[in-house]
Amino acid sequence: MRQIFMGVGILAGLVACSPNTGSPTGHVWTTLNGEAPLVIAHRGASGERPEHTIEAYTLAIEQGADVIEPDLVMTADGVLVVRHDHYLSTTTDVADHPEFADRRRLQGEQSDWWVEDFTLAELRTLRARQPWAQRDASFNDRFLIPTFEEVLDLATAHNVRTEPEVKAPGHFVSVGLDPLPELVRILRERRLDTADAPTAIQCFEPDFLARLNAEIDTQLLMLVFPMQELDPEADPRQPTVSLTDMAAFADGVGPSKALVITAEGEDTGFIARAHELGLAVHPWTFRDDVPVADGVTIEDELRRIYALGVDGVFTDFPATAVRVRDAMGDE
């Protein structure tokens, strides 16, 4: 399935169905395909609405996001639903439901309610909450947990791309809930199993992406972070999976922004190395409400990362990323 992620030929066929990408301007972008970088709504417009809700995705689309990102976990009855974590205490009102009090259990060192212990019907009785203390909580306890297919329906209705991330597939396999067959079924039924489909699948686990690569031609994005987070002795610029290794099965890379740019804006050379291998680069996560460095604003950081040639950015605040990108495009 190895093809260049979001390559010129593929993207050319998608621009018509993605109105947010924008028309060519005098600005010269140094992305892999020469187009303006994509703005990817990380968990939807999660800085302003409870994450991974239809309402968060809808707001992101209204703000001009090119891509919406649903994280996928699996219910007890084998349904792919959209949550970042497979525990439920921080992003739902599950603790307020006495009927589920006995579902709380210890897993590893954490006592919580776990999505794999709930059916879809049970999850539908919960409501989403904003997990970030500094963000607007006025929308708490109002929105449902959507299924993956509902998010795909929304994306289709609005002609935007999706970049689903499969969360902890190894864990779900270990409890008898392999997400791969259901993911493949959904993609095939919707004709999203081709290299030119308006979607790309992400994961932190290379084995899962390699398995998926053998099943479908959908674009794949390998997520990585600095190896130093696992091994303090490692080079801080070394990713958890090497670029050369991922190039055998992936079409792009989603690195922690720490691998791509320093807090002061120094280029690490990661983008250039990835581009040499035909890998697009979609770093994460750009947030308006998380300090970058002394004297560095989120606008400064976005302008710098765009100038370095990233092919897309994951952001909790799509409106800001769109505004900065479009301003650069007009220069």
Please give the positions annotated as active site: 42, 84
Amino acid 173 reads: V
Cα angle 209-207-274, degrees, rounded to a multiple of 5: 60
Which residue has 């600095």 as its token pair? 226
Q: Report the distance separating Cα 223 and Cα 4, nearest Å.
A: 16
Cβ-contact 219, 252 below 8 angstroms: yes
| DSSP secondary structure of 31-85 | SSSSSPPEEEEETTTTTTS-SSSHHHHHHHHHTT-SEEE-EEEE-TTS-EEE-SS
Instruction: Name, in order, each residue with C-beta under 8 angstroms of 10's C-beta and a sequence gap of 6 or more.
Output: 3, 4, 195, 196, 219
Beta-bridge partner residues of 284: 256
> Considering Cα of 292, then 200, then 18, then 329, what sign does the dihedral take?
positive
**Which of these, 46, 37, 92, lies nearest to 69 by C-alpha position?**
46
